[in-house]
Structure 1
Amino acid sequence: MSALADPERLRLYARIVLGELPPREADSPAARKQLGKLIAAGLVERLDDGSLRAGPEVFRRARTAEPVNGVPRHLTGFFARGRLTAIPVRPTVRHELLVHLTDTLFDADRTYSEREVNEALRTVHDDTAALRRYCVIDGLLVREQDGSDYRVPQHA
């Protein structure tokens, strides 16, 4: 929904929905920039013939509280194409994200080397050091004193 927060992008989206955007205007540099964001957000798709279609599916998905691609609904804004685009600044939101990541990337009955932790975290974001550090600080991963191994803590 944040893709529609920009008034210019919202006008462009409305014109696409109403079928009032001529193809030549859609190819202008200003429109291409805004279209890229609408397409990336899943609000618009370019068809094989070059025309544009506004897909209502994105609104149907937004209404449901179901996870999208396994990501809890309230965290999907931090992901694009299965990758984490930003680490949340707010500690409570960051903690919820880290809980999701540790639950999906690590097994509780296994010990991981730092390299294995980095490889798992790299599947979602390139700043593995920050994610690893936040997971340790939040108590979601326990690091051995010598830094050699990590594990998911056993909760009673």
Structure 2
Amino acid sequence: MASFDIDGDLIRKLADLLRETGLNEIEFAEGEKRIRVTRGAPAAAAAVHLAPAAPAAPIAAAAGAKPAQHPGAVTSPMVGTAYLAPEPGGTPFVRVGDQVKAGQTLLIIEAMKVMNPIKAPRGGTLTEVAIADAQPVEFGEVLMVIE
């Protein structure tokens, strides 16, 4: 295992991000360095796992997520909390069966207190919404499917 200096500030920032988003795990990779911060039970302190990064290793999506290889899969470009409507209790941006246009807003992901609109990469019919409103999402996780 390659050794490298541990950046305590980075680990604290990642742990804070876990608390803010309600996620249980986050991973940061830069070159050959990889830092994964996980948390268990709420009373447990965050655990830090250090390992060398595998070359071109994809970050695994959440367990049970649909394969991102589906040609119409819209995947999360970031870690955060997904919202299907512009405001709590509001009308969702899109619903299953809706015709969507390329560039149309499908949902928003809140990451680090910033609301990021996720737009349709192509036009078609929305056939599946794979997440719930206000659900934490991981990078690469399938959010919706457009056919």
Q: Verify same fold: TM over 0.5.
A: no
Point out the structure with the larger helix share: 1
Length-normalised TM-score, structure 2:
0.29
Larger relative contact order (C-alpha < 8 A, sep ≥ 6)?
Answer: 2
